[in-house]
């Protein structure tokens, strides 16, 4: 049964939200005006707009253009307290969130929106050589490795080693892999063509590897085929039906081929946070908590799980995709459920996902969009993709900044965020190229 307040008044009902992603943020927003106090916990002090993270990684946008301090977002919400801390467990018996520093935070209602990280399918050792893209730190690491590859190639005298440094491999043909591949190809073949004297950036190879039969498997076959051809027009080599069997310093093995490369990027899979382990709850193969239809944990109606941390299924049995709109809808549903419970009204019941469409961009002039009732491709889809992403950014300043950055890149091809940071100036890529 729903846990009633015994020690506090209704106005002091304590909601703890772990994770400042789309799901967590929407939960807190939806609770505005409710008789609760809220504690939001995250191990980072910012909310990140992940759909544009690849543009930070490929030097198109600055970090500040897609991230916002959580405290700033709730500066006008005195009932919201923000804690910068790392959660390492949940005591479901005592109703406490356990922090890594030994402290704990009591809760009456708990919302876990802790997201996911990249999964290497049992080969965690590959992460050292093939970083994924989930955080700002990931993005700046990738940007540093990518730009350093060109700098090292400029000084390399051995032709084979130079070509290896100018070879970029992206593993995974989903939206992130496709967007990374297109952006890197344009960076090399357009932006950097006049910047170097010893190398010709036109000789840069960008190889996208997908184990399945086609890229963008979540889209229809015709849109997938269009994306494939659009990438090839940008100079990307698309290799499908070939699984990667080895990632190491200086090379990657897929199919029967060994490819020398200085930069390997991972976009092939995700693994949920350890929330299921914290709760002792049943999880799917990706580690996501198998929640009840109302997004609560079976046996714990006071605990909700949303976003990439939850395994949620639509009425037709298909899994709800791990995308921002889905997380936001789940956060809104949780907030509505909590408010209904506290007011004594009927709760909304089962969560119903409304799919608003799938989008992916291919470079700066093409995209694919699947709204279900209509499918778009090409420059019109790219404009709609851009407008949609700008709309969901937080704050007028960020919307204007991103729009101007895109306009400048579209007109001039120049990317102002080509900065090598957070590493030694002479750092090598992963290790020496073989």
Domains for the chain: give ranges and CATH numbers: 14-118+271-343 (3.50.50.60), 124-268 (3.50.50.100), 357-416 (no CATH)
Q: Are 195 and 349 in contact (CB under 8 A)?
A: no
Judged on CB neighbours under 10 Å (0-12, 13-18, 19+), 81 is middle
210-244 b/e (C-beta count within 10 Å ≥ 16 → b): bbeebbbeebeeebbbbbbebbeebbbbbbbeeeb
Q: What is the pLDDT of residue 130?
A: 96
Separation of alpha carbons 280 and 298, rounded Å: 11
Give the mean pLDDT of 185-213.
Answer: 95
Identify each DSSP E strand in 100-148 by its residue range. 104-106, 109-112, 116-118
Residue 61 has pLDDT above 80, yes or no: yes
Identify the band that residue 1 occupies on the pLDDT scale cut at 50, 70 and 90: very low
DSSP character at residue 308? G
Q: Are 335 and 29 in contact (CB under 8 A)?
A: yes
Q: Which one, of 171, 174, 172, lies nearest residue 227 by Cα?
A: 174
User: Other CB atoms closer than 10 Å to residue 145's CB: what's the count?
Assistant: 22
Q: How many residues does the chain have?
A: 434
Of the candidates 65, 179, 210, 302, the residue annotated as catalytic is 179
Query: Would you list the DSSP string of 154-172?
Result: HH---HHHHHHHTEEEEE-
Q: Does residue 26 have an active-site annotation? A: no
Residue 382 has pLDDT above 50, yes or no: yes
Q: What is the pLDDT of residue 424?
A: 54
Separation of alpha carbons 288 and 275, rounded Å: 8
Residue 430 has pLDDT above 80, yes or no: no
Q: What is the pLDDT of residue 428?
A: 52
Residue 432 has pLDDT above 60, yes or no: no
Q: What is the pLDDT of residue 6?
A: 37
Query: For 111-126, how does the pLDDT look when each residue is reduced to its tens digit (9 = 90+)?
Result: 999 999 889 988 999 9
Q: What is the pLDDT of residue 314?
A: 81
């Amino acid at each position: 049964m729903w846990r009633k307040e015994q020690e506090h008044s209704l106005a002091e009902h304590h909601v703890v939200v772990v994770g400042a992603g789309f799901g967590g943020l929407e939960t807190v927003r939806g609770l505005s005006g409710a008789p609760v106090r809220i504690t939001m916990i995250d191990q980072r002090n910012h909310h990140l707009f992940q759909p544009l993270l690849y543009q930070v990684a490929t030097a198109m946008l600055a970090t500040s253009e897609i991230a916002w301090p959580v405290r700033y977002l709730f500066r006008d919400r005195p009932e919201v307290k923000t804690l910068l801390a790392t959660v390492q467990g949940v005591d479901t018996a005592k109703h406490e969130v356990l922090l890594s520093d030994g402290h704990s935070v009591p809760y009456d209602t708990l919302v876990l929106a802790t997201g996911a990280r990249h999964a290497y399918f049992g080969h965690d050792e590959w992460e050292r050589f093939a970083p994924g893209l989930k955080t700002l730190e990931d993005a700046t690491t990738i940007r540093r490795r990518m730009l350093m590859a060109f700098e090292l190639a400029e000084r390399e005298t051995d032709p084979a080693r130079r070509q290896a440094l100018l070879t970029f491999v992206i593993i995974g043909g989903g939206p992130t892999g496709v967007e990374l591949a297109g952006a890197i190809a344009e960076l090399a073949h357009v932006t950097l063509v006049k910047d170097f004297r010893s190398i010709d950036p036109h000789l840069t190879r960008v190889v996208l590897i997908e184990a399945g039969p086609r890229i963008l498997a979540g889209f229809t076959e015709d849109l997938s085929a269009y994306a494939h051809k659009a990438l090839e027009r940008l100079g990307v080599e698309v290799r499908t039906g070939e699984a990667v069997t080895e990632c190491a310093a200086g090379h990657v093995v897929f199919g029967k081929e060994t490819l020398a490369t200085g930069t390997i990027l991972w976009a092939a899979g995700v693994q949920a946070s350890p929330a299921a382990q914290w709760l002792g709850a049943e999880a799917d193969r990706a580690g996501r908590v198998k929640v009840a239809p109302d997004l609560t944990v079976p046996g714990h109606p006071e605990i909700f799980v949303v976003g990439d941390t939850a395994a949620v299924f639509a009425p037709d049995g298909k899994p709800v995709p791990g995308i921002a709109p889905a997380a936001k809808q789940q956060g809104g549903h949780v907030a509505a459920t909590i408010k209904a419970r506290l007011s004594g009204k009927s709760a909304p019941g089962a969560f119903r996902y409304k799919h608003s469409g799938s989008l992916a961009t291919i470079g700066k002039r093409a995209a694919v969009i699947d709204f279900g009732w209509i499918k778009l491709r090409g420059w019109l889809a790219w404009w709609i993709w851009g407008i949609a992403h700008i709309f969901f950014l937080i704050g007028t300043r960020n919307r204007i900044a991103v729009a101007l950055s895109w306009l400048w890149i579209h007109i001039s091809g120049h990317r102002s965020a080509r900065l090598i940071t957070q590493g030694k100036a002479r750092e090598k890529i992963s290790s020496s190229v073989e």
